[in-house]
Amino acid sequence: MARSPTHAAIEAVFRIEWPRLIAGLARVVRDVSAAEELAHDALVAALEQWPGDGIPDRPGAWLMATAKHRAIDTVRRAKLVRRKHEELGGEIEALGGEVSDEREAIDEALDDEIGDDMLSLMFVACHPVLAMEARVALTLRMVGGLTTAEIARAFLVPEPTIAQRIVRAKRTLAEARVPFEVPRGRQLAERLESVLGVVYLVFNEGYAATAGDDWLRPALCDDALRLARMLAELAPQEPEVHGLAALLEIQASRSAARAGPDGEPVLLLEQDRSRWDRLLIRRGLQALASAERLGGALGPYALQAAIAACHARAATAAATDWARIVALYDALAALAPSPVVQLNRAVAVSMAFGPAEALPIVDALVASAELKSYHLLPAVRGDLLAKLGRLAEARAEFERAAALTRNERERGLMQGRAQACGALVAPAPLA
């Protein structure tokens, strides 16, 4: 390479190579923490050499070779320590033959197809032994290739908090002796659910920021989308992986339309559909078709993707197939009963069969008190009441929603609707 590589160029190589490096090394040393240390050493070596020598033609191979040398040292040292212990017990093995066996084994392991390693790395980073926020941090760091600073910025917490979270997570994994492998059989489904859950959470954190001034944090959405796309390549036989990818692609396709000129949220039905991203919609519909082809049409992510697809396929809001959406929500509610699903179902019922049909569903939710601090419950109830002409009640609900949301932008939206109801409260109610 002719031009001398900048720091940013080297960083870009790291971003690409870091996850693969850790995944490949973790298989050899069977320990994610040790693998990360080895990878880190290799990166330090690169930072010393590349600014002068230029980035090698195959930087991945360079980094792997450098880390490999260290790995051999580490494994050998560990064996020596163990052997010392064994010697005390009187068992001495011949040293010579074994070292070359080791080297061969490591060479072989590192030259293997890396797909399974990356998948193993995802499963380890999302292991149920870890708290949810630890899974998220570890996944973004090790699989997503984000720096600690980038993760901290994305989640609006101080960098040392994230660094500590990652250190503690790695310790927990070591203590629990979590094996570096793709789980099999019955375990697979459960563990896969955890991986998908982490990716979905990252996406949602970017898509509907729970805290802060911005309604959207697109970088997090992109990170999650990238993880979902990786998963779809690495575990193509799993229908729900495609279901999740489909859901995220279609939701992301609306990013540009979800915020107005001043950054305020624009609700789905009021969005300018010309701003929806056709490429992402096409990718989403393709992924959904893959999920369905694999017999996964009724998985929870595939069902949500199918609902999103109904919107994506509708040329205008009025053309939405609400009856189908209600049917899909029925299936989703049967599969994974949850008050949030019921709330969404109520919205669909209102659109398909009228607000009067939907109000009892929402009232039942209010009565059950399960969603009592969820701002969208009064928001939806307010909307139904407004449509039914019960404006004073609607205003009270919008005000409740405004008080409950932690997002500034959403609060503004709810206050606006409350005011609109107030202005419209007329002496004669609508028929």
Partner 1 sequence: MRFMILVKATRDSEAGKQPSERLFAEMATYHEELAKAGVLLDGSGLQPSAKGWRIRYSGDKRAVFDGPFAETKELVAGYTMIQTKTREEAFEWARRFPNPSLDHGEAEIEVRQLYELEDFEPNPQLQRFEAIKEISR
Give the interface with partner 1 as residue ranges (CB under 8 A): 1, 6, 8-9, 11-13, 15-16, 59, 115, 118, 218-219, 222-223, 225-230, 233-234, 255-256, 261, 272-275, 277-279, 283, 315
Closest to partner 1 by CB, 117 vs 292, is 117
Residues paired with residue 259 on neighbouring β-strands, in sequence order: 265
Minimum gap (Å) between residue 95 Cβ and partner 1? 39
- Sort residue 177 into left (φ over 0), alpha (ψ -120 to 50) or beta: left
Closest to partner 1 by CB, 287 vs 358, is 287
Minimum gap (Å) between residue 385 Cβ and partner 1? 30
Closest to partner 1 by CB, 144 vs 378, is 144
Q: Which tokens sit at 263? A: 């950054």
Minimum gap (Å) between residue 396 Cβ and partner 1? 33
Minimum gap (Å) between residue 374 Cβ and partner 1? 29
Query: CA–CA separation, 17 vs 55, rounded Å?
Result: 13
Q: Which tokens sit at 42? A: 């290799």
Minimum gap (Å) between residue 91 Cβ and partner 1? 43
Beta-carbon neighbour count of residue 265 at 10 Å? Answer: 17
Beta-carbon neighbour count of residue 352 at 10 Å? Answer: 17
Helix axes 32-53, 59-88, angle to 10 degrees: 140
Instruction: Confirm if 196 and 240 have CB atoms less than 8 A apart.
Output: yes
Going from the C-alpha of 425 to that of each of 328, 394, 411, the distances in angstroms are: 36, 10, 21
Closest to partner 1 by CB, 94 vs 319, is 319
Beta-carbon neighbour count of residue 267 at 10 Å? Answer: 11
Minimum gap (Å) between residue 387 Cβ and partner 1? 26
Instruction: Confirm if 346 and 380 have CB atoms less than 8 A apart.
Output: yes
Instruction: Confirm if 233 and 113 have CB atoms less than 8 A apart.
Output: no
Minimum gap (Å) between residue 277 Cβ and partner 1? 6
Closest to partner 1 by CB, 104 vs 272, is 272
Question: Mapping DSSP to helix (H, G, I), strand (E, B) and coil, where does residue 265 land?
Answer: strand
Closest to partner 1 by CB, 260 vs 422, is 260
Closest to partner 1 by CB, 15 vs 411, is 15
Residues paired with residue 265 on neighbouring β-strands, in sequence order: 259
Minimum gap (Å) between residue 337 Cβ and partner 1? 33
Query: CA–CA separation, 242 vs 250, rounded Å?
Result: 12
Closest to partner 1 by CB, 67 vs 312, is 312
Minimum gap (Å) between residue 211 Cβ and partner 1? 22
Closest to partner 1 by CB, 316 vs 373, is 316
DSSP letter at 4? P
For 368, phi and psi rounded to 5 degrees? -75, -15
Minimum gap (Å) between residue 278 Cβ and partner 1? 7
Going by C-alpha positions, the residue among 49, 42, 48 that lies closest to residue 65 is 42
Closest to partner 1 by CB, 199 vs 384, is 199
For 259, phi and psi rounded to 5 degrees? -125, 135
Going from the C-alpha of 181 to that of each of 26, 123, 413, the distances in angstroms are: 10, 8, 47
